[in-house]
Structure 1
Amino acid sequence: MLVQSAYAAARQVFSTPLRSILWKSLALTAALLVLVWLGLTRLFGYFLQGHSISASYPILDSFAFFLAGAGLFVALAYLLPVVSAVVAGYFLDDVAEVVEGTDFPADPPGRALPVGRAILYGLRFAGLSLLVNLAALLLFFIPGVNIGVFFVANAYLLGREYFELAAGRFRSLEDAARMRADNRGTVFAAGAIIAALVMVPVLNLLTPIFGAALMVHVHKRLSASRTSTVIPPSRIRSNP
């Protein structure tokens, strides 16, 4: 199921119906990353200026600026899932409408999340992602642990939040969370696919669109599986 869903989502990312949304998503992702970069650069600049040692050891000061620049790239990589969360919350309904209409035309379409609920989801998603990735960033200098923690934490978080965003178009908040818990293994595995994409430079910019499309497929397939396991009343025979 996951292989089929991932293939379908990858195909949808570059499809004609999603092309305009893809460009908008890339533009918003790039703009947010630039803003984060500028903010971090300004923060590091103030810190280094306040602790300058160039008067006595200019070469050390230059080395400090070099390390700060390298650290910015690392910090940006760990903050990318946060940016992805914001972009995903903004474009998920647009992506879901396209995927539902093209790949599941016979099914009733989902409903866009109410504005208040969408804002709540987006803030929760971004906030949790920020906390998780800041915690993972603290483990950056522990070899063998940093990448593993980053991957597992984001696999869980991205799987959980993308799935509940997709399921929220058809279910209540409580029912979406319950369905996710009942299928936690599948949702985590789907989240691992998204987390793996996050770790690939350049391609990780596609995370919001791919993640939304993937979870629409996962939710649809899980819903169909759940329905198929329910025996219709007409097929239940009474005892003679």
Structure 2
Amino acid sequence: MIFDSAAAALRQTLSPALRGILWKSLGLTLGILALLWLGLTRLVQAFQASHHISAQYPILDSLAYYLAGFGLFVALAYLMPAVSIIVAGFFLDDAAAIVERTDFPADPPGRAMPFGLSMLYALRFAGVTLLVNLAALVIFFVPVIGVAAFFGANAYLLSREYFEMAAARFHSIDGAAAMRRHYALRTLLAGCLLAALMIVPIVNLVTPLFGIALMVHMHKRLAARSAPVSLPR
């Protein structure tokens, strides 16, 4: 089930129908990060100028500026997945609707979450993801335990949020959460695949769209099982 869903999700992510959403999401993410980097480097320059560092130690001033710029670049690269999740929140319902319409044309379409609720989901998810990753980063270099904690935390978060987003198009928020818990092992295994993608630079920018496409397929397949869990709508 997971591999079939993943193959279908990959095909959808690279399809012309989702390619437009993908480029808009990537463009906005990189644009926001570039603006943050420029703004923060200007703040560093202003701080140096206000303390007259440039006049007193011109070589140290230039070195500090470039080191700060590089440090900010690394920090923003770490923030990239969280920012991409927030940006993708604008488009995930549209992406889910495309997947449902093209891969499940005979099924009734889902209903979009209200825009405010959808963005609240995205902001909450990005915030929790960032906090968990910062906590996991503290123990990341502890042999075995650090890597396992980092991977496991992301697998759980990604499986929970993306599956519930897909399921909430057909069930209440509580119903979507109940379904995810009922199929916890299957959804967690799908989350492991997404967590593996999140580790890969650049590829992690595609993870939000791939994740929602994957979980739309997972939800459809699980909902079609012979004895589905009873859920409120």
What TM-score, normalized to structure 1? 0.80
1:20 matches 2:15: no
* Equivalence map 1:75-86=2 (5 Å): 75-86=75-86
Q: Which amino acid aligns with 2:169?
A: R
- Which blocks of at least 5 consecutive residues in structure 2 are unaligned? 229-233
* Equivalence map 1:110-149=2 (5 Å): 110-139=110-139, 142=142, 144-149=144-149
Distance 1:109 1:17 in 2: 17
Shift of 1:68: 4.5
Equivalence for 1:171: 171
1:138–1:175 distance in 2 versus 1, CA, 3 Å = same
Equivalence for 2:34: 34
1:229 matches 2:209: no
Given that residues 93 and 113 in structure 2 are in contact (C-alpha distance below 8 angstroms), is that contact kept between their aligned partners in structure 1?
A: yes
Q: Which amino acid aligns with 1:109?
A: P
Equivalence for 1:237: none
SS at match of 1:222: helix
Equivalence for 1:210: 210
Deviations 1:59-87 (A, max 9, x none): 7994x666645543443343223113212
1:37–1:154 distance in 2 versus 1, CA, 3 Å = farther
Equivalence for 1:93: 93
Q: Which amino acid aligns with 2:16?
A: T
Distance 1:94 1:104 in 2: 15
Distance 1:107 1:141 in 2: 47
Distance 1:198 1:39 in 2: 26
What TM-score, normalized to structure 2? 0.82
SS at match of 1:217: helix
Shift of 1:160: 0.9
SS at match of 1:94: helix
Distance 2:174 2:149 in 1: 28
SS at match of 1:90: coil
Larger Rg: 1
Given that residues 87 and 208 in structure 1 are in contact (C-alpha distance below 8 angstroms), is that contact kept between their aligned partners in structure 2?
A: no
- Which blocks of at least 5 consecutive residues in structure 1 are unaligned? 231-240
Deviations 1:130-175 (A, max 9, x none): 2212223334554555444332221111111111111111110101
SS at match of 1:158: helix
Shift of 1:113: 0.5
Distance 2:92 2:179 in 1: 19
Count of aligned pairs between the two proteins: 227
SS at match of 2:89: helix
